[in-house]
Each structure stands twice: as C-alpha cells, then as structure tokens.
Chain A
Amino acid sequence: MMNKPNIEIVSLTKKFGSFKALDNLDLQIEGTKCVGFLGPNGAGKTTALKLLTDMIFPTKGECFINGISVQKERKLALADAGLLIESPEIYPSLTPYEGLEMVADLRGVPPREIKDRISEVLAEVKMESWADKKIGEFSKGMKQRINIAASLVHDPDVVILDEPATGLDPRGMAEVREIVRKLKKRNRLIFMSSHILQEVTEVCDEVALINKGKLLFYDTLGNVIDKFSDGHSSVDVGFAEPVNEALINRGLSAISGVTSSEVLDPKRVRLRFKGGTETQKKLLEEIVGLHIGVVSFSEPSSTLEDIYMKQIERGD
C-alpha cells in the first residue's frame, strides 16, 4: 500500500541579507486534494515554493516531499513531483516535443512510453498541433502551457504549481482549472500558489494564506469561510429564467437562516446566510425544493476575497 502523497515544511526560514522572506513557516499537507497557496506580492509564496523544490537554500528549516528531505535528497524527493516554478523559459531552439522528451528521459520515463506520454500531455494543454515548432517563436502563454505539460509528463503524485495561470488568456486559465480538476480525480496532491481567488475558490479544497513570511491560516475552504466570515456566508444562486422581486422576497429571503439577498443580474442572486457548511447544505435543499429553475449554486469568490483582504490588513 502506497503512502498518501504529502508535503511537509518544517520551521522554514529564509533571509535575503537582512530581509526575512520566510519566518519559521510550518505546513503539513497530506492526501489527494488541491491546496491553494495565497498571499499578497512579497508574502513569501514563491520563496517557499523555491525552497520546497531546492531552487534556493533555506537559512533554517527543511522541506519534505513524500517524506523525503528536499535539501538532503533532492533527486529522490523530486522524483515523484511535477514542478512549475516562476514560469520558466524553455530552450528556444528546441520544439515542445524535444523539450518534453528531455524532461521525460531525465526523469526515467521508459523510452517506449515517452512518445505517448508527450502526446497525452500536449493534448491536455491543447498544444499538440505545435509539437514540432520551435519554442523560441511561442508567446508567453504558449510557453506556460508547455511548462505545465512538462510538470505532468511523468504522471507525478505531487504537483507543485507556482501561479500556473500566469500569461494565459481566459480560455487558458479555464483549461488550467480543468487540468487541476482532472488531477484531483486521479488522486494527486496539488499545491498551487495563485493570485486569482476565483481560481482558488473553484478548484481548491484547502487554502493556506501567508503574509510577511508567516502562515496566517491553513484549513479547508469551508472551514476558512465559516471561521472568518463573522458567522455569515454567501452563495450565488443562478436561475434558468430571470427572477422577480416577489420570488426573491417571498421565496428565497424567507428561507430559514437567510439574512439578506442581492440581485447580481436578472438570473443571479447572492444570498447571505448565518451558519456554515451544514446550513449551506440545507439552503440548497430548500431552494431546489421550491422548484424555481435553479441551475447553479456556488460560493462566490468574493467571500474568500473578503477574508483574504481582512486577514492581510490585520497582519499589516
């Protein structure tokens, strides 16, 4: 029986001169899920990910991937990890196929499987028709897709992504979310830094927030929202047809626990309610029971955004 994929960061401190970029960071992530790594610019996200992947060296502390020390056993620790750090450049004279072939070969993908694996990951990032063009001619977004493909070419257990949507257009961003969803379904552990809270809300199960090199919290998305939203939560409800005021006042706002409602557009209403995940579940059941053409029910990214802003401001 294989152990669950895991990442462990122990008392990680990194100083650049007198500036302390990371201050005794401790974080333990285990299981197959997606963890969003949040924080403002300069909070220490990329520094932490670079330490986690041995791109830079810690002043103090250690990182482990699947129980193996990255600092002591780099090669072994990174063997089953897919990494995308800092939107790398790829050698411009190579084609995507050649670049991925190099990564796969150095990672030990059996030669007879390399071609198929490359075709699979290129299809996954929608770059199969560019496989034989020189990377030097690619846009930033296209290179980022190849970087994502490189992080997946060996089918890793642990995937560490540093701002994977950087440089991508809206369609590309949606495709990254889809890739992360697929990885989750395939029982992988994804640790992903991001500035895009919508993205985190949509694909992450848990979030870790850091600021000024310190971990502010790490918990499930649901618990974070329950804990930091003053007992209030929000959901966005979408309808097949435009809803009228009477339906909102007599139907939706009358549901037990709902404290206020806001019409976002004729087919979308945001409901604020007191309570956590359990109340949210009951709310969904009641709304569906009203038979009023509900087509979607989702946590708004603004909830996480509110929490994010409050926590960062508190830290400042």
Chain B
Amino acid sequence: MPEKKQGSSDKVVGGNVDITRRTFLHKSLLTGGAIATGSAVGFFQTLSSMEVANAAGESFSFAWVSDTHLYPQTLNQRFIDKATRAFGEVQAMGSEFDFMIFGGDLAQRGDPVELELGAELLKEVTIQKHFIPGEHDWYLDLGEAWNQHFGESPWSFEHKGVLIIGLDTVGSAPDYWSARGMTPKERMGHMEALDGSQAGPWSGLGSKNRQWLSSALSDWPKDAPVIIFSHTPLWECYAPWNFWIRDWRQVHEIIAPWQNITNVHGHVHQPLYNEIGGMRSIGMLATSWPWPYAPQGVPEITKPMLRVDPGDHFDGVGWGKLSMADGYMDNEYMMWREQVFGTTRADSGTGDNQNQVLSPRIADRGWTGD
C-alpha cells in the first residue's frame, strides 16, 4: 500500500468541535429534541446545502466529481458531455479549490478505452487531483488499468488541519467468479448491474484496508477533523445495491474514538445524509444519471432530491463543491437544475417508496456461464 502522504499543511487542530445550526437541526429531528419540529423542518428545507463542523483550521475548498460511467465514445456521447461539463466547471472555478477528488466509477465496463477516455477528459482539470476507484473501474482487470492511470488506494494526507483519507471500498470483493469459471468480461458484466444477484456483497474494506485505516488514524487527535472519501457509503443504507460496506460494523469500531469524521461518498448517485456516532456521511451526485432511492426510504435527516425528468439528460446530476470556511464545512450540490430538494410527496424522489414492494431480479440467479 502507498505510504502516508503529507499535504500542504501539517498543522494539527485540537480545538473544540462545534456544531452548526443545520447539523444541530439534523440531530434534533432525529432524536425529537427541543426545537419545534415544524419550524425546524421549515427552515431546514429552505437550505440547499449541508454543513459539517470544524471549529478551527484554515479555510479551503475542494471539488468532488464521481460516477461519470463513461462508455467508449462510439457508443455514448451523452456521458462524455456531462463529464466534460463537470470538469469544465471545476476548472473554471479552479482558483477556489485546493484540490479535486474523483470518487470512482469513471468507466462503465472497466474497459481500458473508457479509462483512457476518462484520463484524457480529466486533463481539463489542472488543479491537484486525487482518486479513489469504483467497482466499474475495477472488475475487468481487477484494478490493473485503474492503478496504472490513477495510482493505488488507500491513501491519506494532512491538509490545513484536516486528515484526509481516500479508501478503496471496491477491490476486496469475495471471489464470485473463479469457481464459476467466469471470464473477466463476465465478471465485470455481473458487477455492472447494480441489482445483480451474482456479485454479492462486493463493497467493503476487508481486513487489510481496515488495518491500514486503523494505522492511518492512530496518531491523529480524537477531536480533530477527518474527511474520509469512499466510493460506497460507510454505513448500511441498502445492502442489495451495495449502498454500504459489508464490514461497516468493524469499521465503525475503528473510527468510533474520532468524533469529527465526515464521510463523502459516491455510488448512490443521489443526495443522501446520515449521522452515526461521530461520523456524518454525505452522498454525492453522479454526472451520469441519478439512481432511485432505496426501497425502504432514507434516513429521516436526509433531504431527498426532487424527482428528475428522465427526458432531460442533464437533470438530477452534477458534482459537488465542499468548502471549509470560518471553521465549518459546507457541501453544496452543484446539480444542473434550479431546485435540488423535493419537499412534498408529489415532488420528492422518495414520494412513492411508501407504496412500492420490490423483489430482487430473477433472471441471473441460475447463471452458470454461457
């Protein structure tokens, strides 16, 4: 695994962790706190961003782009156009950002042509870039091309008083291919379908990465801020779509002593927010397309996105701008539409979940190879 990298500042912040009003409102809603629910909801839902706390430290901003899911250009220009737009906007605002994180799923089928296309498009962004892989980047050649282009994960560095960690949550899937004699293309094909039955609980850190995480955190002050980037969320949102890491309980045991952790993740293609212990978790947009929300719904403290128009390729997608200013980190969804969140059943992306009983797909359950 790569050595721990050192960022542009080695300053360690040991001040108290503050909580912004918005985050406080989250907690109040979750626990039935003292604030009147009606007014809290009314205020909360007028906001288009979520703040997380860091009471001290220098200001900085960074950009998040993920889930471009590029096909070869001969097959799909649409996803190229959207990735290009995101990278162009990041570059146009480049002077505001200390770095950009690409959060995985650059490619759709792990095809070297797709990864090379992505690498070419990413040249548009000239600020410092960091990368973590997604499953679509990985399972054709088990990460070989990805690592050649974008380097290995996990990694960490300190930046202006914040420990920044990039995890690999995709590369340690239990082997579902060898016993069945799958070709690399077949292995990738089963990984490609979010709702497939064969790839199983592929998302996780695994023991090696958990040991690395424990080591990376070991000398960091317990009250100092940590940002963990991961492709998949570090909590159990919806296991059948791998909206989780399978070993989240073990990971939470590792991170429990640190009380100011922000997990920023991709994969879900939707605004998603949760708080567990000292960790807050923010789901980011894709540039490619939005996933529907998980069938069982979302945490109460998530503001669901507005329903999107499937006829508009640029609707419900975008990138993220995260700023640490005046001691607080603010996440702004740079969605390519005016209104981000839905507040009524008719407008909410979760509005129909209450009358939707779903079954896992069936056609791939008896798959034995062609």
Q: Do the two chains bind?
A: no
